[in-house]
């Protein structure tokens, strides 16, 4: 693909309250970590331009609030997204157990296409000692659903770039797949269509 080609991708990051979604996003976009983030109300958006596979990607990443009372509002932001990061906190078993619900919420809002919807799971806060979610448990859940899994730390900047760019790469592949299927669909004429006469 032409390096001048620019593709806009909308990515979302979802998960329970306090798992570190905002910290992960700021680490990825700004290379900064603050101890005292405020709870995200609804959603906030950060952008980052990267070059991947000879293509300039403008990533518009939606950071969604994890509070239960915002869930119906937040789910409206999922529409039109090209990929999703599902985040949990390895020191909080409940945040891991909620992944099924978050994943279901997202998939319910996505318009089904032939191309599978890309997701990546992030187990955040691996820099902390009081781990409650064994790595094997998280890997097993992800393998079962065929989702890549990354153990990450927003604070220590471990695997953050790799996780975001894995999702970006998969979202780009899906985008190209949809584009190609639209192009080929629009030029296919079946013999019946060609012979059909008007009136």
Structural domain span for residue 150: 6-195
Half-sphere exposure of 75 (CA within 13 A, CB side): 14
Beta-strand pair 43-52/55-64:
antiparallel
* pTM confidence score: 0.85
- The number of domains in the chain is 1
Question: Which CATH number is 137's domain given?
Answer: 3.40.50.300
**Three-state DSSP class for residue 46:** strand
The total of other beta-carbon atoms located within 10 Å of residue 60's CB is 15
Tell me if 160 sits within 8 A of 24, measured CB to CB. yes
User: Does 108 fall in a domain?
Assistant: yes
Cα(106)–Cα(26) distance, integer angstroms: 22
User: Does 55 fall in a domain?
Assistant: yes
User: Does 1 fall in a domain?
Assistant: no
User: Does 172 fall in a domain?
Assistant: yes
Cα(143)–Cα(148) distance, integer angstroms: 8
pLDDT in tens, the chain (199 residues): 444 589 999 999 999 999 999 999 999 999 999 877 666 655 688 999 999 988 999 999 998 775 655 555 566 788 889 999 999 999 999 999 999 999 998 998 887 777 899 999 999 999 999 999 999 999 999 999 999 999 999 999 999 999 999 999 999 999 999 888 877 655 545 555 545 555 5
């Amino acid at each position: 693909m032409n390096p001048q080609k620019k593709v806009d991708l909308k990515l979302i990051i979802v998960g329970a309250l306090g798992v570190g979604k905002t910290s992960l996003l700021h680490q990825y976009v700004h290379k900064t970590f603050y101890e005292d983030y405020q709870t995200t109300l609804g959603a906030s958006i950060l952008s980052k331009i990267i070059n991947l596979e000879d293509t300039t990607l403008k990533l518009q990443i939606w950071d969604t609030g994890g509070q239960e009372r915002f869930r119906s509002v937040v789910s409206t932001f999922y529409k039109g997204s090209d990929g999703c990061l599902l985040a949990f906190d390895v020191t909080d078993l409940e945040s891991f157990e909620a992944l099924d619900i978050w994943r279901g919420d997202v998939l319910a809002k996505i318009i089904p296409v032939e191309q599978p919807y890309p997701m990546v799971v992030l187990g955040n806060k691996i820099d902390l000692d009081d781990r409650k979610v064994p790595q094997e448990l998280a890997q097993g859940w992800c393998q079962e659903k065929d989702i890549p899994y990354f153990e990450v730390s927003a604070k220590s900047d471990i695997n953050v770039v790799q996780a975001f760019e894995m999702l970006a790469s998969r979202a780009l592949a899906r985008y190209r797949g949809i584009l190609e299927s639209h192009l080929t669909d629009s030029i296919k004429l079946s013999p019946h269509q060609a012979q059909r006469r008007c009136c």
